[in-house]
A and B are shown apart, each in its own frame.
Chain A
Amino acid sequence: MMERLPEPAGLLLDRSEPVAFSFEGRRYQGFRGDTVASALAANDVTVLSRSFKYHRARGIHSLSGLDANTLVQVGPAPNRFADREPLAAGLVVTGQNYWGTLRHDRMAVFGLLHRFFPAGFYYKAFYKPRWTWPLWARMIRRIAGLGSVDTAAPHGYFDKQYLFCDVLVVGGGAAGLAAASQAAAAGAEVVLVDENAALGGALLHGRFDAGGVRTADTRTALAGEVEADERISVMTETACLGWYADNWLPLVRGNRLYKLRTKALVVATGCLEQPLVFRNNDLPGVMLASAAQRLIKLYGVRPGRRAVVATASDDGYGAALDLLDAGVEVAAVVDLRTDAPRSGVGDALAARRVPVHAGAAPWEAVPQRKGPGIARVRVAKIVEDGVCAPTVDSFTCDLLVVSGGQAPAAALLRQAGAAIAYDSRRQTTRIDALPAGVFAAGGVVGAAGLDGVIADGRRAGWQAAAHAGLDAGPEPAAAPDGDAPATAKGVWPIFPHPDHKAFVDFDEDVQVHDLEDAIAEGYDHVELLKRFTTNGMGPSQGRHSSLNAVRVLARATARSVDETGATTVRQPIVPVTMGHLAGRSFEPVRYTAMHFRHLEAGATMMPAGLWLRPEYYGEPARRQALIREEAKNVRDNVGIIDVSTLGGLDVRGPDAAEFMNRMYTFAYLKQPVGRSRYVLMTDLGGVVVDDGVACRMHEDHFYVTATTSGVDNVYREMLWYNAQWRLKVDVSNVTAALAGVNIAGPNCRAVLETLCDDVDISPEGFPYMGVREGHVAGIPALFLRVGFVGELGYELHVPASQGEALWDALLEAGRAHGIRPFGVEAQRLLRLEKGHIIIGQDTDGLTTPHEADMAWALAKKKPFHVGIRSVRMQAEKGLTRRLVGFEMPGVGVEQPKECHLVIREGEITGRVTSVAYSPNLDRIIGLAYVAPDQGEPGTRIEIRVDGGRMVSATVAKLPFFDPDGARQEL
């Protein structure tokens, strides 16, 4: 292992704790505090990955987790940024996207064939003939993969948390630290978010003065102030994924996704150092100045032995000084500018006798013959923007440090709707206007000089606190003059080479000539150019390539960069795993009051809306037999079913009957107190949407049931209509307040007689469709005499707290009468025998009352019910289908299933909606939609069952069982 530089270099390292890990099967050692990338750099491993298209060797580029060069596989996790991944003992890290070894990737041959892979080659090469595409697709997926997903990997634990604050500051650099302190001083609750392990931003690695102590001193002071402030919550190693409306920001730290709502936002995300574009600018050993400085200062790693620095600003001078201090020989500084103003770092460099070549550019990095890195750099004088003189100087080196200027990291501001313009003089973007509640500070808004950045941060923190409604006091002082360096004219950073390999986008291997070719083909809009060339579509999302691509486009189309525009930066602005987005699974389930009694009785539960209901009771192996036994017992003796999930709505007020009359299709004005009546609801389009029964408890009070899954919508619709009608009525949803049991069967009256003493349940005293209030086993109950399953039966609605007691009392009292609980499946069979439809099963999103043969439920003389006009218009137009009963012999016929099609002469005329074998009738019975002229009982219909076979059925009159209803009216 290479010796680390002495302290203070290696700020993040804990040198007392060595950490062993492996990369590509070889064992290495780093320190606690290292990332995988820094530890590999310390071990002289320069190749971290292979590029996406040409499989070129790639190494450290930004060392800030912002480029795809460092994507590695860490254990089962693919596509981890090696320069973000904290080193941990025993980590097993491998490279991605190669065939052979990472050092010797056989697929690097694609680089030699580059002329056959022009921009957009997918669109050109593989689409003809069409049948070949699946073959190509399979091959391309194999070649152009990133990491591999281990489907056997254990599920990770991810969760979510909500956060609220007065001021959120994104970015913990000088501006962000100052903003956080200022806002907190005004009394704001502040959250400060930074993606790095330590606060400081560019103060951690930058060098803004000759002596090189100012950044560290400033960082210590500002960060210390923030960390000591109780009002500031600091979240490091936290990524902000984007900006959403009304300052709603998702943050990711570790395995947790935070959803933060802030009153005011300060974006202090600084700048992204931009690369230079020249031949072989992607070789391992070519890195951004900030990356080299991070290696030295954060990790104590010497980035090379002999360096050339190529820069478009003073930033490279600071880096050159840092390299010298770290013991790296600096062969030359190549300054793209001809008119660089004098600066402290420039003078310091001159004092250390480093030759500076002004007005020159790196024309080509020459690769090593045998290694993956660079051997030397060829430097040429710039003749005009992007064009170099033919004569070149050559410098031997193993490190080429580049700095192409700074671009604001303005993704959050763009998403928030900031007006952003391009300053063509400085060749960078600037923010013109910000939306309310969003503030920006520091480098991202072009603040210059350390004092200027800090003052700008204090200004933004002050504004944000005031926006959050706090008394922020007087505006903080502006920066003293003289600190900001004179702004230099921006320089053109792109130098295409006749032999190509000048990369604009490393993720996607997009070269200058690819962009130029695509523009020549007509893809001359930024968004088209991006999609056709895939420039900016890789994991780094154009952070280092978009600006240069726009420059190329602007020049090719003779427009300014501002006129050319920029591509949209969408959320998430940094990669996020599916686990973070999915979080823990959270599916609320509702239990009825009797839920645990069902479980004790061995019920198999099934979902019904959010509820769980017993499907049947007993061994799943005997499912079919149990369902039939339960149904038979209802017909022969007595059964009980938990109907607590049915919706219950209380409609009260002087206009209750009028309201019912408007919401439902039947007539309710003259419904007698103590009686129930069927309710059918249609929507505005005349489609059947719900049903139930309405019990008139009192002149001014109806208790209405609704379907399990429909009640919430029914309730909402009722409130919506009455918000417009202003009837004197009050509706409440009492579903959860009540438990319900339906007791049905010839013996049920005998059971109830033993439990009721204040309700006359004789046939005369309590007729069919009657409603009574009284007690069952001492429990206050509402009695509804209804016949959904076609037997003598009562629905008992009791307070939910008493549901279990009622259930127990009924089973106990019914023991002598052969009582047993029945589940939803038995109930479905029983009601099918009676031809009762289930809304949502036998109806769909288009079913009208006439189609469902429910014209009997339409009051003929009402002026209004919801959807009345549509119902009448449909009735006039005539039917296109009908819901009818059908039957088939019980043996020797294949039973159709729900949704099997009814077919006549090759045309679909309908489908099966319910079907079951009825042991009671020894026939298969069902409901199906058929053509209007197939509705007469006795008509033969053909149903296509599984496998395409056709079976015959006969349309039958409904109900199948007890047509006179004698049993339910006992």
Chain B
Amino acid sequence: MKIMPCPLNGPRNIQEFICAGPVEPHPDPSRCSDDEWAEFVWLEENLAGVVREWWCHAATSYWFIAERNTVTDEILATYPADRVFSERVDFAPLALPEPPAPPEPPKAPAPPPPAEAAADTPAGDAPSDDALPLAPKETGG
């Protein structure tokens, strides 16, 4: 059985861990196209080579990032997620009109972003389309 070097718990049997797939940017759900969203949710790159992946040590519910070569199954580096995700992420107020909720017939378009949401989401922090991708600040070694 492989050993996963956990940044929190040290080397442990890999059966104690859960792999949650590649670390990839989440598209802004209120601005991306349907196709972009569907691709993000349903399609995987399945890259042959070095990928960055989310791993969780199940017993301690600790999430971290591992760089793994999917061809050789070598784990090249593991590090805490805050090496990549170091900044608070916020979501822009709704940009899309409120869709109808079937089976009822469509109602009037949704009102503008509510005061509550606007107040809790400072406009200055609203990430743009290309800022939202959770770009790495640093890669581990």
Q: List chain A positions with a Cβ less than 8 A from chain B.
A: 244-246, 248, 259, 261, 658, 661-662, 667, 669-670, 684-685, 715-716, 719-720, 723-727, 733, 850, 855, 858, 860-864, 868-870, 872-873, 875-876, 878-879, 882, 932, 935
- Cβ-neighbour of B114 out of A716, A861, A868, A875 (below 8 A): A861
- Cβ-neighbour of B98 out of A850, A860, A869 (below 8 A): A860
Does the CB pair A723–B81 fall under 8 Å? yes
Q: Which residues of B contact A726 (CB under 8 A)?
A: 82, 85-89
Does the CB pair A869–B73 fall under 8 Å? no
Q: List 21 A-B contacts (CB under 8 A).
A: A259-B1, A661-B120, A670-B116, A719-B62, A723-B63, A723-B81, A724-B26, A724-B134, A725-B85, A725-B88, A726-B89, A863-B92, A864-B30, A864-B91, A868-B29, A869-B37, A873-B37, A875-B101, A875-B102, A876-B99, A879-B103
**Overall SS of chain A's interface:** mixed
Given A259-B1, A878-B103; 13 other pairs, CB 8 A cutoff: A244-B1, A245-B1, A245-B2, A261-B3, A685-B41, A726-B82, A733-B61, A861-B114, A861-B116, A862-B94, A863-B121, A873-B34, A876-B99
- Cβ-neighbour of A861 out of B40, B61, B63, B111 (below 8 A): B111
Does the CB pair B88–A727 fall under 8 Å? yes
Question: Among A245, A716, A719, A724, which residue has the most Cβ atoms of chain B within 10 A?
Answer: A724
Q: Which residues of A contact B110 (CB under 8 A)?
A: 860-861
Please count the residue pairs between chain A and chain B whose beta carbons lie under 8 angstroms apart in the complex: 110
Does the CB pair A875–B116 fall under 8 Å? no
Does the CB pair B81–A724 fall under 8 Å? yes
Closest chain B CB from A346 CB (angstroms): 48
- Cβ-neighbour of A872 out of B26, B93, B96, B134 (below 8 A): B96
Does the CB pair A720–B20 fall under 8 Å? yes
Closest chain A CB from B95 CB (angstroms): 9
Closest chain A CB from B90 CB (angstroms): 8
B117 on interface, CB distance cutoff 8 Å: yes
Rounded to whole angstroms, the CA-CA distance of A733 and B81 in the bound complex is 20
Does the CB pair B37–A720 fall under 8 Å? no
Q: Which residues of A contact B29 (CB under 8 A)?
A: 864, 868-869
Rounded to whole angstroms, the CA-CA distance of A33 and B3 in the bound complex is 41
- Cβ-neighbour of B56 out of A716, A862, A878 (below 8 A): A716
Q: Which residues of B contact A850 (CB under 8 A)?
A: 101-102
Q: Which residues of A contact B120 (CB under 8 A)?
A: 658, 661, 669
Rounded to whole angstroms, the CA-CA distance of A684 and B32 in the bound complex is 14
Does the CB pair A245–B73 fall under 8 Å? yes
Closest chain A CB from B128 CB (angstroms): 15
Does the CB pair A719–B92 fall under 8 Å? no
Q: Which residues of B contact A855 (CB under 8 A)?
A: 101
Q: Which residues of B contact A864 (CB under 8 A)?
A: 29-30, 91
Does the CB pair A870–B101 fall under 8 Å? no
Q: Which residues of A contact B81 (CB under 8 A)?
A: 723-724
Q: A245-B2, A863-B113, A875-B102 are in contact. Are A869 and B85 (CB under 8 A)?
A: no
Closest chain B CB from A702 CB (angstroms): 15
B100 on interface, CB distance cutoff 8 Å: yes
Q: Which residues of B contact A667 (CB under 8 A)?
A: 116
Does the CB pair B99–A862 fall under 8 Å? no
Chain B: CB-nearest residue to A878: B102
Chain A: CB-nearest residue to B40: A684
Q: Which residues of B contact A715 (CB under 8 A)?
A: 61
Does the CB pair A875–B20 fall under 8 Å? no
Does the CB pair B116–A248 fall under 8 Å? no
Does the CB pair A720–B42 fall under 8 Å? no
Rounded to whole angstroms, the CA-CA distance of A429 and B63 in the bound complex is 46
Rounded to whole angstroms, the CA-CA distance of A803 and B101 in the bound complex is 44
Does the CB pair A720–B117 fall under 8 Å? no
Q: Which residues of A contact B63 (CB under 8 A)?
A: 719-720, 723
Does the CB pair B30–A863 fall under 8 Å? yes
Rounded to whole angstroms, the CA-CA distance of A855 and B103 in the bound complex is 10
Chain B 50-104 interface residues, beta-carbon cutoff 8 Å to A: 54, 56, 58, 61-63, 73, 81-82, 85-89, 91-94, 96, 98-103
Rounded to whole angstroms, the CA-CA distance of A248 and B38 in the bound complex is 41
Q: A724-B89, A862-B117 are in contact. Are A875 and B61 (CB under 8 A)?
A: no
Rounded to whole angstroms, the CA-CA distance of A662 and B54 in the bound complex is 20
Rounded to whole angstroms, the CA-CA distance of A246 and B32 in the bound complex is 43
Q: Which residues of A contact B117 (CB under 8 A)?
A: 669, 861-863
Does the CB pair B56–A720 fall under 8 Å? yes
Question: Among A261, A715, A862, A875, which residue has the most Cβ atoms of chain B within 10 A?
Answer: A862
Rounded to whole angstroms, the CA-CA distance of A935 and B101 in the bound complex is 15
Q: Which residues of A contact B38 (CB under 8 A)?
A: 873
Q: A726-B85, A726-B89, A875-B101 are in contact. Are A719 and B41 (CB under 8 A)?
A: no
Q: A669-B116, A726-B85, A870-B41 are in contact. Are A248 and B94 (CB under 8 A)?
A: no
Does the CB pair B54–A720 fall under 8 Å? yes
Closest chain A CB from B10 CB (angstroms): 13
Query: Nearest 8 A-B pairs (CB), nearest first?
Result: A869-B29, A864-B91, A861-B114, A245-B2, A723-B81, A246-B3, A723-B63, A248-B1
Rounded to whole angstroms, the CA-CA distance of A486 and B15 in the bound complex is 50
Q: Which residues of A contact B37 (CB under 8 A)?
A: 869-870, 873
Closest chain A CB from B133 CB (angstroms): 11
Closest chain B CB from A635 CB (angstroms): 33
Rounded to whole angstroms, the CA-CA distance of A719 and B93 in the bound complex is 24
Chain A: CB-nearest residue to B118: A863
Q: Which residues of B contact A875 (CB under 8 A)?
A: 99-102
Q: Which residues of B contact A685 (CB under 8 A)?
A: 41-42
Rounded to whole angstroms, the CA-CA distance of A681 and B30 in the bound complex is 18
Q: Which residues of A contact B121 (CB under 8 A)?
A: 863
Closest chain A CB from B29 CB (angstroms): 4
Does the CB pair B3–A879 fall under 8 Å? no
Q: Which residues of A contact B32 (CB under 8 A)?
A: 869
Does the CB pair B86–A876 fall under 8 Å? no
Rounded to whole angstroms, the CA-CA distance of A658 and B89 in the bound complex is 12
Does the CB pair A684–B41 fall under 8 Å? yes
Rounded to whole angstroms, the CA-CA distance of A716 and B20 in the bound complex is 11
Rounded to whole angstroms, the CA-CA distance of A873 and B30 in the bound complex is 11
Rounded to whole angstroms, the CA-CA distance of A404 and B94 in the bound complex is 79
Rounded to whole angstroms, the CA-CA distance of A635 and B48 in the bound complex is 61
Q: A716-B56, A863-B94 are in contact. Are A876 and B134 (CB under 8 A)?
A: no
Rounded to whole angstroms, the CA-CA distance of A719 and B55 in the bound complex is 12
Does the CB pair B102–A872 fall under 8 Å? no
Question: Among A667, A720, A727, A733, which residue has the most Cβ atoms of chain B within 10 A?
Answer: A720
Q: A726-B86, A870-B41 are in contact. Are A879 and B102 (CB under 8 A)?
A: yes
Q: Which residues of A contact B54 (CB under 8 A)?
A: 720
Closest chain A CB from B110 CB (angstroms): 6
Q: Which residues of A contact B93 (CB under 8 A)?
A: 863
Rounded to whole angstroms, the CA-CA distance of A245 and B82 in the bound complex is 29
Rounded to whole angstroms, the CA-CA distance of A685 and B29 in the bound complex is 12
Q: Which residues of A contact B96 (CB under 8 A)?
A: 872
Closest chain A CB from B44 CB (angstroms): 13
Chain B: CB-nearest residue to A245: B2
